[in-house]
Amino acid sequence: MSQRVKDKVALVMGAGSIGPGWGNGKAAAVRYAREGARVFAVDIQESAAQETRQLIEAEGGQCIAFQTDVSQAAEVDACVASCVGQFGRIDILHNNVGLFATGGVEDVTEAEWDHLFAVNVKSMYLTCKACLPQMVRQRRGAIVNISAIAAMRHVGYSCISYAAGKAAVNQLTRSIAVDYAQRGIRANTILPGLIHTPLVEHFLGEEYAGDVQKMIERRRQIIPMKHFGDAWDVAAAALFLASDEARYITGAELVVDGGVTCSVA
Ligand SMILES: NC(=O)c1ccc[n+]([C@@H]2O[C@H](COP(=O)([O-])OP(=O)(O)OC[C@H]3O[C@@H](n4cnc5c(N)ncnc54)[C@H](O)[C@@H]3O)[C@@H](O)[C@H]2O)c1
């Protein structure tokens, strides 16, 4: 361990995982803790946040688990207040929550569109709005928002609400980066590509009638590196952007995709 975020407080939204194994949020929370941060692990599922807390504590780290729906303003405000109340500060806001949905414009219902935007986009506005006053007081803070390569490319199937929502996340982050650049606060986005996490099996397995192996093989073929990334690849990128090593980096989009977005094949 090199203690790259020693003594920082990391507030991780969506710190659990939707199924067994390592999701992006769970891995990021554990990685921050391994590198010396105290972690406030937030999830809509109490049990998922508690699992992450147990993993961190088992390794000797410090973590508080907290149940919150990040699409609800009052819950987000209470969550941020609790983090500041218990840990005294917020150095890193890591926004991992993001639902996935397939379908084109004619497939997605208005209610589905609104729900996805509430959970994937409005949540990041709410969490940033709640954390920024504390970061301004500290004159220090790093926001890491998890987007997706679907924000910049058609990924081979329609996922119109997801793609548009992630594009909104990118511009939200760029705007915050500029607005707060003189106040010691940085905001960056990570664009994961094909990452093998429980979320992928949960949502995309259905597209392949539950044949997860077939899905994995089809998707693997379009990756120039010919293998999937995993949650630790996304966590490593987040750690860098959240750490002082990235002190001159703000408003950036870090693509973590094994070369997918560079390839036309
Ligand atoms: N896995 C991939 O291939 C991939 C690719 C690109 C981007 N991403 C992005 O990564 C992020 C998710 O990754 P993951 O592997 O951690 O997913 P995950 O679904 O396993 O974990 C996210 C956690 O968020 C929680 N959550 C869901 N709704 C919530 C809400 N309203 N409030 C609070 N918590 C909530 C879930 O309970 C879950 O524990 C998303 O932003 C997704 O768009 C993933």
Q: Quick check: is 162 in a domain?
A: yes
262: number of Cβ within 10 Å: 9
Q: Quick check: is 58 in a domain?
A: yes
Which of the residues are catalytic? Answer: 162
Nearest ligand 1 atom, CA 119? 31
CA distance 231 to 185: 25
CA distance 5 to 99: 28
Of all protein residues, the one whose alpha carbon is nearest to atom 25 of ligand 1 is 14
User: Residues 33, 15, 256, CA angle at the centre, nearest 5°?
Assistant: 85
pLDDT in tens, 183-201: 999 999 999 999 999 877 7
Count structural domains, the chain: 1
Mark out the alpha helices in 71-121 (DSSP H runs): 73-87, 110-117
CA distance 123 to 72: 7
Q: Quick check: is 263 in a domain?
A: no
Ligand 1 centroid to residue 182 C-alpha, Å = 31
Report the side by side order of strands in the sheet with 92-95. 62-67, 38-43, 9-13, 92-95, 141-146, 185-192, 253-256
Q: Quick check: is 2 in a domain?
A: no
Tell me, what CATH number does 151's domain have? 3.40.50.720
pLDDT at 189: 98
Note the pTM of the prediction, 2 decimals.
0.97
CA distance 219 to 252: 27
Residues with a CB atom less than 6 Å from ligand 1: 14, 16-18, 23-25, 43-45, 48, 68-71, 96-98, 100, 119, 146, 148, 192, 194-195, 197-200, 231
pLDDT in tens, 191-247: 999 999 987 777 666 667 778 788 888 889 999 999 999 999 999 999 999 999 999
List the domain range (segments joined by +) for residue 93: 9-195+230-256
Q: Quick check: is 117 in a domain?
A: yes
Judged by average pLDDT, the poorest of 124-128, 178-182, 260-264 is 260-264
